[in-house]
Amino acid sequence: MLRTARLWKGAAGGFRPRALFFCQRPFLGAGAFSGLYCAPPSMRQKARGESDVATNETSVDGVAGRYASALFELANESSNIEGVEGDLVNFQALLDESPDLVRLVRSPVIAAGDQANAISAVLEKAGISGLTANFLKLVAANRRLFVVQDMIKVYRSLAAKARGEITAQVTSAFALNDDQIATLKETLKASVGKDVTLQSHVDPSILGGLIVKVGSRMIDSSLKTKLQGMKTALGGAGA
């Protein structure tokens, strides 16, 4: 038992899990995310009167956080935290490189079966298997792929914390090379006093520079932000 779940009484007098996460394990068997049962979203939504609407929950207490925490616990039990993290990083790289894949994971109109089949094919081609593959397939089956990137962020933050590191979210106009990443890590380490794990994201819309977030601290040197600041100042000067 991972955690205590909210329960409702079933027709046969027994109890069934009402919560979406952490109900029973093992349950699904070797063909799925072994060790974690997540009730289908339709069951949870009917119980609460919710609609199947995508949200941006990123905290450990949200949808993404609970899935990521469950995955981290299982990876920790199997002494495979870094292996799973590597698989998730590879999957995130696929998302960064393919707008079509992003549309696939975020689309609410693609049938669950089609989405699951497509994800299975992507994972096989990318060489992602084992616990990570089973997890991502379960996420697809439960129609929660729209927050998979948040799940990856939370998992990586948990893995970094376990190593005694701090996680920094880095957004750049272009992909950083190895030298730039090393320099940025050393600069941040000197600032915060701990080793730093970078979670990088490319966003051409920032026009240049970097946006770095370490905890609640934001460091923004993007050209877009500077231009916006100039525009605001000019607007105020002409008032």
Tokens of 108: 């609410």
Total residues belonging to the chain: 239
Where exactly are the structural domains of the chain? 1-163, 164-239
Share of the chain above pLDDT 70, in %: 73
Share of the chain above pLDDT 90, in %: 34
End-to-end CA distance of the chain: 64
CA distance 129 to 91: 11
- Is it true that domain 1-163 has CATH number 1.10.520.20? yes
pLDDT of 85 strictly over 90: yes
Q: When comparing pLDDT for 65 and 31, which is higher?
A: 65
| pLDDT of the residue at 140 | 92
Tokens of 52: 């199947």
| pLDDT of the residue at 185 | 86
DSSP-derived 3-state class of residue 194 = coil
Exposed, middle or buried by CB within 10 Å (0-12, 13-18, 19+), for 94?
middle
Q: How confident is the model at residue 232 (pLDDT cuts 50, 70, 90)?
A: confident
Long-range contacts, 77-82 (Cβ 8 Å, 24+) = 78/131, 80/130, 80/131, 81/159, 81/162, 82/159
Which segment, 77-91, 100-114, 166-180, is predicted with the most confidence on average?
77-91
For residue range 187-201, list pLDDT tens digits in order. 888 888 888 888 888
pLDDT of 141 strictly over 80: yes
- CA angle at residue 130 from 119 to 87, to 5 degrees? 65
Q: How are beta strands 217-220 and 210-214 bridged, if at all?
A: antiparallel
| pLDDT of the residue at 237 | 56
Mean pLDDT of 73-97: 94
For residue range 148-163, list pLDDT tens digits in order. 999 999 999 899 889 8
CA distance 8 to 4: 13
Which segment, 106-110, 187-191, 232-236, is predicted with the most confidence on average?
106-110
DSSP-derived 3-state class of residue 118 = helix
**Domain spanning 164-239, CATH architecture:** 3-Layer(aba) Sandwich (3.40)
CA distance 229 to 93: 32
Q: What backbone torsions phi and psi does residue 6 show, to the nearest 5 degrees?
A: -70, 145
User: Which among 222, 171, 174, 165 is positioned nearest to 200, based on CA atoms?
Assistant: 171
User: Which among 57, 1, 54 is positioned nearest to 25, based on CA atoms?
Assistant: 1
Q: How confident is the model at residue 60 (pLDDT cuts 50, 70, 90)?
A: low
For residue range 4-51, list pLDDT tens digits in order. 333 233 333 333 333 333 333 333 333 334 444 444 444 334 333 333
| pLDDT of the residue at 61 | 63
